[in-house]
């Protein structure tokens, strides 16, 4: 960002600090049903879902991939207005500089410094600059959508730790879980993506060992953030699909003080909901769907996952898996 853009983004000169922006952050391991949850949370009264906002700079501003509304990023009226309000337009953003800043700040390895930025003056400077970049983005999403709560399903623990320190962000966490054997099976599969939503045309794949290790570390880091006082609700994918009204009701209570209502969840019809439109800028392929979406438990891994990697994942995740009820 230019100095002028940064000044405009911070609302310099008005002399009045705005109210914090409430962000409902979906955090956890990828392939745990987070995009499905994001779409449902976007149906809540006073909520706006934006998908995985961390990837906006790469997927949207730089590569011009398609928004969940179907338009390419530069043709989406919603994101065009968000960019104008946040930065005076996306053309004011140096994407290479932003992505370099992300790599220096927003990573799992940086969490010790995020928690204690006094350890490094240079890191503290980068962290402050990153917060100054993100805060007007969340605020602009809220203003353009008219929502009281911005739903971000980025999932990265590092971004959650950063937002927890941001003075103008009111952070609430949804910790989403899925049986690690199901997560590992999903990461082993070749999953094609809709045209215009990725460079490779398919989702990344990971080994069973790497997925199991990440499942343990990611969920441990999310739980630790909850213990630091960030309001949090833990939801298992399996419970969400079996009892969507009960699980979503617990999440709705997390932001009822902001919206002023206990959400009636009228968009739910038994095990189905209507995808009424989203501007999710990145996320799973289901974000590109419209119309009725049926909630059906995906446990193909129980039948199709090879015994070797399945046992490996089970052994590596056993203590934490049992703690979350996956026996």
The domain ranges of the chain are 21-178+228-296
Q: What is the pTM of this model?
A: 0.91
Question: If DSSP states are collapsed to H, E and C, what string results for 103-134?
Answer: HHHCCHHHHHHHHCHHHCHHHHHHHHHHHHHH
CA distance 157 to 111: 8
User: Which tens digit of pLDDT belongs to each residue from 134-193?
Assistant: 999 999 999 999 999 999 999 999 999 999 999 999 999 999 999 999 999 999 987 765
CATH number of the domain at 21-178+228-296, out of 1.20.58, 1.20.1740, 3.40.50, 2.60.40? 3.40.50
311: which 2 tokens?
Answer: 């046992």
DSSP β-bridge partners for residue 275: 291
Share of the chain above pLDDT 70, in %: 91
User: Which tens digit of pLDDT belongs to each residue from 212-264?
Assistant: 999 999 999 999 998 888 999 999 999 999 999 999 999 999 999 999 988 88
Angle between helix axes 244-252 and 34-41 (nearest 10 degrees) is 60
User: Which tens digit of pLDDT belongs to each residue from 86-97?
Assistant: 999 999 999 999
DSSP β-bridge partners for residue 173: 25, 232
């Amino acid at each position: 960002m230019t100095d002028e853009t940064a000044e405009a983004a911070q609302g310099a000169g008005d002399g009045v600090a705005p109210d914090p922006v409430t962000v409902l952050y979906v955090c956890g391991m990828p392939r745990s049903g987070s995009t499905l949850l994001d779409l449902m949370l976007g149906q809540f009264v006073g909520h706006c879902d934006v998908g995985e906002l961390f990837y906006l700079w790469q997927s949207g501003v730089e590569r011009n991939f398609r928004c969940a509304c179907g338009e390419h990023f530069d043709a989406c009226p919603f994101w065009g207005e968000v960019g104008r309000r946040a930065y005076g337009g996306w053309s004011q953003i140096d994407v290479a500089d932003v992505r370099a800043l992300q790599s220096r700040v927003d990573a799992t390895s940086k969490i010790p410094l995020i928690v204690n930025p006094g350890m490094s003056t240079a890191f503290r400077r980068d962290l402050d600059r990153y917060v100054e970049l993100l805060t007007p983005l969340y605020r602009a999403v809220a203003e353009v959508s008219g929502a009281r709560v911005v739903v971000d399903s980025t999932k990265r623990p590092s971004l959650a730790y950063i937002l927890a320190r941001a003075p103008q962000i009111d952070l609430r966490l949804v910790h989403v879980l899925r049986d690690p054997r199901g997560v590992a099976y999903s990461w082993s599969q070749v999953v094609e993506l809709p045209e215009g939503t990725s460079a490779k045309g398919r989702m990344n794949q990971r080994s069973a060992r790497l997925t199991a290790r990440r499942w343990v570390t990611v969920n441990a880091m999310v739980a630790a953030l909850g213990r630091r006082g960030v309001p949090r609700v833990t939801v298992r994918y399996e419970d969400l699909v079996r009892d969507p009204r009960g699980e979503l009701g617990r999440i709705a209570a997390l932001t009822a003080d902001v919206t002023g209502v206990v959400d009636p969840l009228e968009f739910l019809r038994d095990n189905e909901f209507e995808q009424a439109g989203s501007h999710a800028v990145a996320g799973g392929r289901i974000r590109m769907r419209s119309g009725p979406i049926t909630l059906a438990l995906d446990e193909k891994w129980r039948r199709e996952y090879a015994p070797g990697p399945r046992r490996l994942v089970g052994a590596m995740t056993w203590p934490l898996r049992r703690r979350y009820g996956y026996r």
